[in-house]
Amino acid sequence: MTVTLDPLLITGAVQAAVSRCGARREALVQILRETQAALGWLPRAALEAIARRVGLTAAIVEGVASFYRFFHLQPVGRYHLLWSDNVTDRHLGNRALAQALCDRLGVSLGQTRADGRVRVGFASCTGLGDQGPALLVNQHQVLTRMTPERVQALADLVEADVPAAQWPADWQQVDDQVQRADRLLGAAPMHGEALRPALARGPEAMLDELATSRLRGRGGAGFATATKWRLCAQALAPEGGTRVVVCNADEGEPGTFKDRVLLHRQAHTVVEGMTIAARLIGARQGFIYLRGEYRFMLEGLEAVLAERSTQGLLGQRILGTEGFDFDIAVHLGAGAYVCGEESALIESLEGKRGTPRIRPPFPVEQGYLGQPTIVNNVETFCAAAHIAREGGAWWATAGTAESTGTKLHSVSGDCDRPGIYEYPYGVTIAQVLQDCGARQPQAVQVGGPSGTCVPASAFGRRLAFEDVPTAGAFMVFGAERDMFEVAQGFAQFFAHESCGFCTPCRVGTELVRRRMDKLAQGHGSLFDEAELKELEALLHGTTHCGLGATATNALRDTLMHFRPAYERRLKSDTFVPAFDLDAELAPARRVTGRDDALAHLERKG
């Protein structure tokens, strides 16, 4: 389908985006986002116009645009409908609903309809696993709890050309679903209550309080927060530069949605924690990197930042303190799982492809634009604010010796009460399962696909850095689930989301996906099992970043604990080919108009 846009429309959209974002290289991702929001997609003429205004080549601009899943170099229709496709979404029936929507609209999955109105496809987990099946609409609105009835009504609205903003409000309702609150979720949002005592203590004493608390990063790696902030404070900022505070709100790990809830309920507290961090390290600039799937939260976050500025809690001379100047901007991502890795996130902030950096140097030494930078998770900044208000010793009274404080868990899957559960570290998996009303659980995927698959025999284990660490996802799989299919779904996710930078991840994840799909199609053999084990070992030891190294965790764990699910598919002792050469010749037969016996390999001779 060829679509030509009015050159004046393109020029106006680019000019408006550059005027709002600034003609700076580091603003490129935001310029692309705003231009696409105006045009619906990114035609080459728009990329060339952006390149001229920003002072880059068109090849560089197109290279950045082609990296992110939510940028489109071809038309995707006025209604671009993307179903969330995590394994738990599949268990809720998203695939059948997607096909029903396609049938109703007369469009094939992944194709734009001939009239240019609509396209239906899939996205990775959209952070709504507790209220799915969910849909993204034009990477802006979200629809939750989709049903066959809603699908039918949705198709009617699309055919009637009703703008998405006018669709039923209850379809777009996103609930927090806080099932258990503790220190973070049980408190009121802060408006200076933590910042004032932090200022009174001074930077060194406040860093000592953080050290006393033994707070560790909540994003998964668990690095000591006080150590990271102290290293950044000690690093030399370039002349004329500053240190930088970055809040990583790109929770792309499938099954995780706790940061979404924190940013809705406790945004003031999160920003307060960032502001305290700025005081401790001497930063004047801050960013909230908000994942593209959370575009619907952008206006709310910007309103919080504006409110805090009017209250004297952001901007110049915060709380009347001379020299304490700190501002925060929201940077919206564009659909890239790898940008959850801190150095890839910084590359994206700089307007580049989100490729993880080689380290050292570490971000605390040279991060955003070469300046010392701390990158911490939403939950970490929220916890730091509570520590500033109540003290490090208070925080350390909860949890375990190595894992102090509380942790938020995003519970989804086969349970009666999905949602957010906040517990002190050290809670058993069995306790969480009991509280959420798990239905005959045979396994729990802790920490998302890159985490740990825990079988029923190990439900007595504890959620803590020293036992089962987690970034926050807690997916429950009941006895009726096929754990091979779970691992296959995760393999498909990693192959889709690999940034492509290093060969082991780019090729390895695709080979794992193909091998798992081969088993699913009934062509499995013991040879395939051996190949999968070799690939698993290869990825763990050779990938460029930690995301690639954990891409086969679910494969490893399910092979170990749920081997019968694989044995049912390992039907031969010898190699069974899955490649059908005759089927691959079908396009040639169509072109030549032949379908006789000699045009088919299997009929020869």
Kindly report the CATH class assigned to 484-567.
mainly alpha
Q: In the chain, what percentage of residues exceed pLDDT 70?
A: 98
Kindly report the CATH class assigned to 82-172.
alpha beta
Rounded CA-CA distance 509/331 in Å is 29
Average of per-residue pLDDT across 337-359: 96
Does 602 score more than 90 pLDDT? no
| Alpha helix positions (H), 160-214 | 195-201, 203-213
Q: pLDDT tens, 165-213?
A: 999 999 999 999 999 999 999 999 999 999 999 999 999 999 999 999 9
Average of per-residue pLDDT across 100-121: 96
> Would you identify the CATH topology of the domain 179-396?
Rossmann fold (3.40.50)
Does 604 score more than 50 pLDDT? no
Instruction: Look up the CATH number of domain 406-481.
Output: 3.10.20.600
Q: pLDDT tens, 39-60?
A: 999 999 999 999 999 999 999 9
Q: What is the pTM (predicted TM-score) of this model?
A: 0.93
pLDDT band at 597 (very low <50, low <70, confident <90, very high): confident
Do 255 and 474 meet the contact criterion of CB atoms below 8 Å apart?
yes
Rounded CA-CA distance 489/487 in Å is 5
Q: For residue 221, what pLDDT is reported?
A: 82
Q: For residue 546, what pLDDT is reported?
A: 82
Q: For residue 582, what pLDDT is reported?
A: 74
DSSP 357: P
In 130-282 the beta strands, taken as DSSP E runs, fall at 135-137, 141-143, 178-180, 243-249
Contacts of 319 by beta carbon, 8 Å cutoff, 6+ apart: 192, 195, 196, 199, 312, 313
Which has the minimum average pLDDT: 20-29, 140-149, 214-223, 394-403? 214-223
Q: For residue 603, what pLDDT is reported?
A: 44
**Vertex 576: Cα angle to 572 and 581 (nearest 5):** 160
In 322-418 the beta strands, taken as DSSP E runs, fall at 327-332, 373-377, 406-413
Q: For residue 417, what pLDDT is reported?
A: 98
Q: pLDDT tens, 269-319?
A: 999 999 999 999 999 999 999 999 999 999 999 999 999 999 999 999 999
In 3D, which of 507, 408, 348, 448 has the Cα closest to residue 183?
408
Does 75 score more than 70 pLDDT? yes
Which has the minimum average pLDDT: 41-50, 305-314, 407-416, 521-530? 521-530
Q: pLDDT tens, 323-339?
A: 999 999 999 999 999 99
Do 524 and 514 meet the contact criterion of CB atoms below 8 Å apart?
no
In 69-199 the beta strands, taken as DSSP E runs, fall at 79-84, 118-123, 135-137, 141-143, 178-180
| Alpha helix positions (H), 446-545 | 483-497, 503-520, 526-542
Does 579 score more than 70 pLDDT? no
Q: For residue 571, what pLDDT is reported?
A: 79
In 3D, which of 460, 462, 457, 451 has the Cα closest to residue 486?
451
Q: For residue 500, what pLDDT is reported?
A: 87
Does 481 score more than 90 pLDDT? yes
Which of the two residues, 464 and 583, has the higher pLDDT score? Answer: 464
Does 575 score more than 70 pLDDT? no
Can you tell me which residue has the tokens 């009347």?
320
